[in-house]
Chain A
């Protein structure tokens, strides 16, 4: 089935450690996104990419890094520079043209807890 796969679903990290969250899609979408969601709040954009080997910072990029070496993959690294990394992270993809433009397809999310 076509869709977006995020892993791991749950992740625990000690302070000072970097962690990488995986996001893979087989929808052939050009654009991919990472959002952060805190309890009782909406979604905030961390990074997005509209094409392979190119990505842009979103509203809260500090302490995070990404890569886009393949169309299907958009991993997010939460670095030790991120002061408050405990959150629910959502990856999404979308077409950049055609009838589906602007519609986001989401993964199931990854919950990161810093111990």
Chain B
């Protein structure tokens, strides 16, 4: 069975400092992993995805994530936070060999940026 755990429900950083949002997953097969961002009262937008190619994945808005199979982690990072990064972030795992319904969402991490 698949599962995903976002280790922090809320992260607060100062503008210009690094961002780290942590995600651990469990999957019986070869997982696809995704990070989505949601601004208030909006839909979710894909930040980046891992689908078995390079383990270091670069996404939009300067975000990147590294797939570490030995640690079953897919943490999201950004070198320097911007005020516009304040949003909710979701880590998602899907199993490429199961039906399209097997898409599991983490509970989300709210990122706050201090001026």
> A residues near B, CB below 8 A?
4, 6, 30-31, 33, 41-43, 45, 48, 50, 56, 58, 88, 90, 92, 94, 96, 99, 101-109, 111
Contacts and interface: CB of A to CB of B under 8 A. Distances in A.
Contacts of B42: 108-109
Contacts, number: 66
Contacts of B101: 45, 48, 50, 56, 58
B63 interface: no
Contact of B32 (A30, A42, A101, A107): A101
- Among B32, B44, B49, B106, max chain A CB count under 10 A is at B44
A43 B51 CA distance: 22
Given A6-B43, A101-B100, 15 more contacts: A4-B43, A30-B100, A41-B108, A42-B105, A42-B107, A43-B44, A50-B100, A50-B101, A56-B101, A90-B44, A94-B100, A103-B32, A104-B46, A105-B46, A106-B44
